[in-house]
Amino acid sequence: MTPPHDGFPGLVELARLVASKEVGSAELVKQALERAHTSAGLNAFVSLFDEDALARAHRIDERVAAGEDVGPLAGVPIALKDNICLDRGRTTCASRFLEHYESPFSATAARRLEEAGAVVIGKTNLDEFAMGSSCEHSAFGACRNPWDQTRVPGGSSGGSASAVAAGVVALALGSDTGGSIRQPASLCGIVGFKPTYGRISRWGLVAFASSLDQIGPMTRSVEDAALAFGVMAGFDPKDSTSSESAPPPDLMESLGEAPKQARVAVPKQARGAGVDSRTLAVFEEAVRSLEGAGVKVEEVDLAHTEAGIAAYYLVATAEASSNLARFDGIRYGRRADGETLEDVYVRSRSEGFGPEVQRRILLGTHVLSSGYYDAYYNTALKTRRVIKAGYDAVFGQGFDAVLSPACPSPAFGIGEKLGSDDPLALYYEDVFTVGANLAGLPGVTVPAGFTPPPNGLPVGVQLVGPAFAERSLLQLASLAERALGVERRVAVSN
C-alpha cells in the first residue's frame, strides 16, 4: 500500500527516518528551507522562519538522541497557510490590514502538529482572507503553479498547494470555506482533504465564514493526509462548534482495507456544460479505473449543484461581512488617521482591505441589510438545507461517496479570469466543492491524471462522504489513489 512518492518521501517515512536517527530533523528542515528559497519565484511563502525552524529541529534531534519519543511527525518540516495563527512570526492573511500582525497564540491545529513533532518552516500565500480561487488576490502578489509558472495554483490555499507540489514540504495546512483546499490540490496535482465541519478546531484560524470554514491537510498522498488529520482532529473546548464525537482511532491501520462492494455516485451535473473537455476526459478515465478496481459507479441527480454557488456566495459573504467587522484599526492591525472614530474605522478598512475582500464585505452587508435579508440571505439558507438533503438522499441510498471532478477546469493563466471584469467567472471554479461546505461534509481531492501534452496539467477528482465518515472516505480515497496510479506528485525532479 506504499503511496507513490516520486522520490519525495512522505510524512510517515520522514518521521521514521528522524525517529530512527537515520536523518536529522535539522537536515530535513535545512533541505526544505533551501528548496523554499530556490523556488522563491513561485511566491508560495509569505514568511520563512529559517533560524527558528532550524533551532526547533536541533532540539528535536537532541530529544531523539536522548531516547525520547517525539511523536508521529518527528522532526518533519511543514508549512501553514498564513490565516492560521502561530505564536511567532507574522500572521498576515495576505492582507495589508494584518501585514505586521504578530499573533500572541498558536491555532489549536498548529499546536497539535507541533506537539506531534512537526517543525513549521513558514507561512504560505493565499487569497486575502482566503477569499478567492486563484491565489491572485494576495496583497503580496500572485502565487504560481509549479507545473506551469504562468498559471495559478488555485486558491485560496494556493501557497500551500504550490509548496507541496514543488517538493518543499510533505504537509501544508490549508483552510476550506468553499473549496479552498480541494480546488488548489486538484490544480497542483496533490491530495487535499477537508474534514467534516467541526472535526478540526477552528480556534486560531482567522474566520472568513464561520459556519463553512474548516482546516485540513494538503499532502502528496492519502496516507499523509490521514496521518495529519488524525493528529489534528478532535474536540477543542476553545471552538464552540468543535465536534465532541471522537475521531476514528485506527485511521492509519485501516487505510488499506478495501471497502467491500464500494458504491460511488456520480452526479450527472459533473458531466455538465461548463466542465472543460480535458478535465472530463481525465475524469471518465478515472471512473473506468475505479470500476476496474471493483467500485460500483452509478449516476445520480444532484439537482442543486449549480444553485450551490449562489447559495454559497450569499452565505459566505454575509458571514464574512460580520466576521471582518472586527478589523476596525483600534485593537490590532492597520490604523489610519482620522478626525473622528468613524473616520478611523472607514479609512483603516478601506486602505487595509484589497478589492475582492471589499467586494465581498459589500455584498454580504447588502444581503443582510433590512429589506433584502429575506430575498437573499434567507433564501440562501433554505437552499442550503435543500442541498444538504440532496446529499443525505444519495447517502441514504447506500452510496459511500459522491464522485466528481474537483473543479471544472485545469489551472488557468495568471490574470486570465481576473481580467474578465466578471467575478462570476472565477466563482464557477467552486461549483463542485461548495456543496460539501454548505452541507458540512468531508471531501478529499485525489490526483487523477494530467491533461494531454504539451500542457500536461494535473487534474484531480473529488470524493465527498457522509458527515464524520472520514474513516471510510479515506479508505475509498486510498483505494482510488492506487487505482488511478498517478505517480508524479511533485512538479520538479529530486
Partner 1 sequence: MSDALTPEDVKKIARLARLEVPEGDLERVGRELSAILGYAERLQGLDLEGVEPMAHVGDQMNRLDADEPGEAFDNQTVMGLAPDGLEPFIRVPRVLGEGGGA
Q: Does 241 bind partner 1 (CB under 8 A)?
A: yes
* Residues of span 196-235 touching partner 1 by CB under 8 A: 197-198, 211
Compute the distance between CA of residue 128 and CA of residue 306 in angstroms, rounded to an integer.
25
Q: How far is the CB of 281 from partner 1 (least distance, A)?
A: 28
CA distance 102 to 94: 13
Residues 4-33 that bind partner 1 (CB under 8 A): none
Q: Decide whether 59 or 101 has the Cβ nearer to partner 1.
A: 101
Name the residue nearer to partner 1 (CB basis): 149 or 373: 373
Cell 537515520 identifies what position? 22
Which of 383, 445, 475, 478 forms a contact with partner 1 (CB under 8 A)?
383
Report the candidate in 337, 126, 64, 320 with the shortest Cα–Cα distance to residue 212: 320
User: How would DSSP label each residue in 392-459?
Assistant: HHHHHTT-SEEEEESSSSSPPBTTTTGGGS-HHHHHGGGTTTHHHHHHT--EEEEEEEEPPTTT--EE
Supply the minimum distance, in Å, between the C-beta of residue 259 and partner 1: 25
Is 442 a binding residue for partner 1 by CB under 8 A? The answer is no
Query: CB of residue 214 vs partner 1: minimum separation in angstroms?
Result: 11
180 is catalytic: yes
State the DSSP code for 221: S
Specify the DSSP class assigned to residue 190.
Answer: S
Q: How many angstroms separate the CA atoms of 169 and 48, rounded?
A: 12
Whose Cβ is closer to partner 1: residue 2's or residue 245's? 245
As a whole number of angstroms, the distance between CA 357 and CA 363 comes to 10
* Contact pattern for partner 1 over residues 402 through 441, marking x by CB under 8 A: -------------------xxxx--x-----------xx-
| Cα gap 91→211, rounded to integer Å | 22
Site for partner 1 contains 362 (CB under 8 A): yes
Binders of partner 1 among 294-353, rule CB under 8 A? 304, 307, 309-311, 313-314, 321, 325, 328-335, 338-347, 349-350, 353
Which of the 8 DSSP states describes residue 84? B
- The residue with cell 464522485 is 403
Show contacts with partner 1 in window 457-476 (CB under 8 A): 467
Task: Name the active-site residue from 134, 180, 242, 472.
Answer: 180
Is 90 a residue that touches partner 1 (CB under 8 A)?
Answer: no
Rounded to the nearest 5°, which phi and psi values hold at 78? Answer: -135, 170
Out of 134, 156, 243, 404, pick the active-site residue.
Answer: 156
Nearest to 461 by CA among 183, 228, 136: 183
Number of residues that bind partner 1 (CB under 8 A): 71
Closest CA to 8 of 166, 239, 185, 175: 166
181 contact partners, CB below 8 Å, separation of at least 6: 157, 174, 175, 192, 193, 194, 216, 218, 445
The least distance separating partner 1 from the CB of residue 314, rounded to whole angstroms, comes to 6
Instruction: Give me the phi and psi of 79, to 5 degrees please.
Output: -135, 155
Q: Which of 63, 285, 366, 492 binds partner 1 (CB under 8 A)?
A: 366
* Residue 101 makes contact with partner 1 by CB under 8 A: yes
Least Å distance, CB 111 to partner 1, is: 12
* Radius of gyration over every alpha carbon of the chain, rounded to an integer in angstroms: 21
Q: Which is nearer to partner 1, 283 or 395 (CB)?
A: 395
Nearer to partner 1, 254 or 365 (CB): 365
Q: Is 478 a catalytic residue?
A: no
Of these residues, 25, 39, 81, 242, which one is catalytic?
A: 81
Query: What number of CA atoms fall less than 13 Å from residue 337's CA on the CB side?
Result: 0
Indicate which single residue of 81, 123, 384, 482 sits in contact with partner 1 (rule: CB under 8 A). Answer: 384
Identify which of residues 117 and 440 has a Cβ nearer to partner 1 in the complex.
Answer: 440
Using CB under 8 A as the binding rule, the residues of this chain from 116 to 155 that contact partner 1 are: none
- Could you confirm whether 238 is annotated as catalytic? no
Interface residue with partner 1, options 38, 369, 397, 455 (CB under 8 A): 369
Which positions are annotated as active-site residues? 81, 156, 180
